[in-house]
Chains A and B, each alone.
Chain A
Amino acid sequence: MLIAALILVPVVTGLLARLVRSLRLAETINAIGSLTTLVLAASIFFQVLRHGAIDGPFGSLRVDALSGLLIITIAGVGTAAALASIRSMRLDLAARRVPDGRRGARWYYLGLHAFLASMFATVSVDNVGLLWVGIEATTLASALLVGFYRTRTALEAAWKYLILCTVGITFALFGVLLVYYATLQTGGTATLNWTALMDRTGLLDPGMMRLAFAFTVVGFGTKAGFAPLHTWLADAHSQAPAPISAALSGVLLSCAVYGILRFYAITAAVTGPTFPNRLLLGFGILSIAFAVPFLVVQRDLKRLLAYSSVEHIGLIAFAIGLGGPLGIAAGLLHLVNHAATKAFLFLTAGEVVQQAGTQRLGALRGVVQHAPRASWWLVAGILAITGMPPSGIFISKIAIFRAGFSGERLTSIISIVGLLLLGIAFAGLLAHALRLVERPRDAAVPKGAASEPTSVLPIVVALVPLAAVTLLFGLYVPGPLNDLLREVTTLLTPTQEALIP
């Protein structure tokens, strides 16, 4: 029941927000709906924690520990994005950036909640075929949000996003087909049910599964932003309204990683972990290597954050590719930390951009004089994402590299390369952050919508919990999360010993 409600509440919220006539009412519905979703997600999370996996109605919904982790992350980031949208839309309306005016804003709320519903559905289905359907649905639900401003660049971004992700994911469908074919070959009834597949791993053909995993990683990897398939990502993140960028970066990418993880578990059990680990390790380090130069020379604030997402998704893939319970747990912890911190960053960046009227980093020099509060939050966020203590990113990065250096020699060497790249990224981001706070030589501070016509309350309510999570996870990993991570690693590596020291 809870699972069905989790998917239905956002749908109903979105439809109601679109149907009512007043924008204020739509905003209220949006707030109530997203908070309800958060409560539902939290109760599912704790139920999974206490009683194990929950089976939903229709026989194809099932929430286990991994789904539970994603659900709470999506709900947290989604609710923050929905609340922040109230202020962001008001500012956009005041600046006449919203096509169709207030009607367009109500469409926006429908799109946002449909997008959230598609992500909840993606992580709640217990069938790798429906998982594919769900991930493609998240692209479709968010494409119009990416092109929301309908400017030349926004339409370009939406087009590239739709085409590239759809082509990419077609390859993943081929992977699904191969899995289905492999189960047919075993002689029993063919199935795409994940739980049933995990029970049958001993019978599946390793060659076929290897091929299937490679196709899936390419397909879902396009969506996750693995280099060199990441070219849509910076465009989409930089052109979408800030709360949408927060949801894209924080949780949409995570949903794609989730898809890969489901196939990873089957493949690792069939072929042994070496092949899938090497593949993820390769894509991971490649993504970090591709992202770092773009981080250093970047001229656009939101593109800067987008390339940082490529870097962090790469790091997550790298961690999972290290293999073993330690790597997987560290990767998933990093996924949660990245979601909270990056959502925080995109929301504050949106605020700064709206106050300054530009997202060009050159024009944002010394923006702290003009929009002090938002800018200092942004700088704090940038420091947190680089892994400065006390941020959650710091803890999970340490955990990842501890896993990296405790393995064989090859992974240790790759870990050193990774550390070097992260060091460059750190320096690049720090330099960008310093330019935001410096005093500009000519006193021409950026100008924009100087007056603030709407209340800052929604964005503060959205940001404070995200900041709190980032800080809290930087101090310690809470017990329930730790238990859940332990359970996820047992789920994904049933044959290996689950041990998180």
Chain B
Amino acid sequence: MNGVWADTLVHEVVQFAATGLLGLALGVLLARRLNVAIGMLAGQGLLLALAAGAVALDSGTLHSWIGFGVTLLVKALLIPLVLFHVVRRLKMEQALRLGLSLKLAVPVAIGLMLTSWQVTAPFTDITHLIGGRDTLSAGLALLLVGLFTMVARTTAFSQVMGLVTMENGLYLATIAATGGLPLTVEVGVALDIVTGVALMALVIHELSDRLNTIDTEHLRQLRG
């Protein structure tokens, strides 16, 4: 697949994925129930895989297909599964509801998205960005909204999901700017992320076992 038609298609698919990712990042930030939030995180993984798949279809290299496979496996399957697994083993009903400690969450998140749009202005004319400036600014916005999720919500789960959202934003930006990092690096990063989430899940499990809470507000014993 080559030529102008295919190019526009890839651009549109990547842009569609980027828009969807932004919506789902907002969803993860605002969700009231834990299971819904994890579902939306899995949705982010699927959209990311869609974007990677479009790039792979366009370039046709083995490398980009492996990138697509790894994304699908790690972001859309493994990470959500690990999180669902821990949720099922937690016996605390209260943990399943996510309180939002910040009333200004929506305006702040939208402000972050506008900021990302603003700061990527220098990239308007760079033509070889896949999905154009929109995708790059969406990647940056995901990074910021993910970080904000970690600050705005206090359950340990939200912090993990915010972190994964940040990584997703970074991956989207990588696809847009470079079509993907070298294969060994990409696989190594994916391995790190999935191991990291598994370890965090393990610590969450221990915390709920021993402290009977997974609210990070309660993790304040060590100071000074």
Partner of A153, one of B166, B173, B185, B221: B221
Whether B224 lies near A294 (C-beta < 8 A) is yes
Q: Is A45 an interface residue (CB 8 A)?
A: no
Please give 17 more A-B residue pairs, beta carbons under 8 A apart, in addition to A140-B192, A152-B221, A155-B211.
A129-B182, A129-B188, A129-B189, A144-B199, A147-B203, A153-B221, A155-B206, A157-B222, A159-B216, A160-B222, A170-B163, A170-B166, A170-B167, A173-B167, A173-B170, A191-B182, A298-B224
Whether A235 lies near B222 (C-beta < 8 A) is yes
Q: Is B159 an interface residue (CB 8 A)?
A: yes
Q: Is B102 an interface residue (CB 8 A)?
A: no
Residues of A contacting B: mostly: helix
Q: Is B147 an interface residue (CB 8 A)?
A: yes
Q: Is B34 an interface residue (CB 8 A)?
A: no
Whether A181 lies near B178 (C-beta < 8 A) is yes
Partner of B200, one of A162, A174, A239, A299: A162
Whether A60 lies near B184 (C-beta < 8 A) is yes
Q: Is B195 an interface residue (CB 8 A)?
A: yes
Whether A133 lies near B185 (C-beta < 8 A) is yes
Partner of A163, one of B177, B188, B195, B200: B200
Known A152-B211, A170-B163, A299-B224; judge A129-B185 contact (CB<8 A). Answer: yes
Whether A159 lies near B196 (C-beta < 8 A) is no
Whether A153 lies near B178 (C-beta < 8 A) is no
CA distance A137 to B185 in the complex (A): 13
Whether B219 lies near A160 (C-beta < 8 A) is yes
Within 8 A of A (CB), among B206-224: 206-207, 210-211, 216, 219-222, 224
Whether A162 lies near B178 (C-beta < 8 A) is no
Across the interface, which residues of B come within 8 angstroms of A150, CB to CB? 206, 210
- Sampled A-B contacts (7; CB under 8 Å): A129-B181, A155-B210, A156-B219, A162-B199, A170-B163, A176-B181, A294-B224
CB distance from B16 to the nearest CB of A (A): 22
Q: Is B40 an interface residue (CB 8 A)?
A: no
CB distance from B83 to the nearest CB of A (A): 15
Q: Is A493 an interface residue (CB 8 A)?
A: no
Mark interface residues in A144-181 (1 if CB within 8 Å of B CB, else 0).
Answer: 10010011110111111011001100100110110011
Q: Is B14 an interface residue (CB 8 A)?
A: no
Residue of A nearest to B150 (CB): A167
Whether B163 lies near A163 (C-beta < 8 A) is yes
Residues of B contacting A: mostly: helix
CA distance A412 to B163 in the complex (A): 41
How many chain A residues have a CB neighbour from B under 8 Å? 48
Known A167-B166, A190-B178; judge A158-B203 contact (CB<8 A). Answer: yes
Whether B200 lies near A130 (C-beta < 8 A) is no
Mark interface residues in B153-164 (1 if CB within 8 Å of A CB, else 0).
Answer: 000100100010
Q: Is B174 an interface residue (CB 8 A)?
A: yes
Q: Is A303 an interface residue (CB 8 A)?
A: yes
Residue of A nearest to B206 (CB): A155
Residue of B nearest to A177 (CB): B174
Mark interface residues in A171-204 (1 if CB within 8 Å of B CB, else 0).
Answer: 0011011001100100000111000000000000
Partner of B196, one of A60, A140, A152, A299: A140
Whether B206 lies near A173 (C-beta < 8 A) is no
Whether A152 lies near B166 (C-beta < 8 A) is no
CB distance from A123 to the nearest CB of B (A): 15
CB distance from B145 to the nearest CB of A (A): 13
Whether B199 lies near A143 (C-beta < 8 A) is yes
Residue of B nearest to A137 (CB): B192
Known A130-B185, A173-B170; judge A239-B222 contact (CB<8 A). Answer: yes
Mark interface residues in A304-336 (1 if CB within 8 Å of B CB, else 0).
Answer: 000000000000000000000000000000000
CA distance A137 to B143 in the complex (A): 21
Whether A166 lies near B196 (C-beta < 8 A) is yes
Whether A177 lies near B182 (C-beta < 8 A) is no
Whether B210 lies near A152 (C-beta < 8 A) is yes
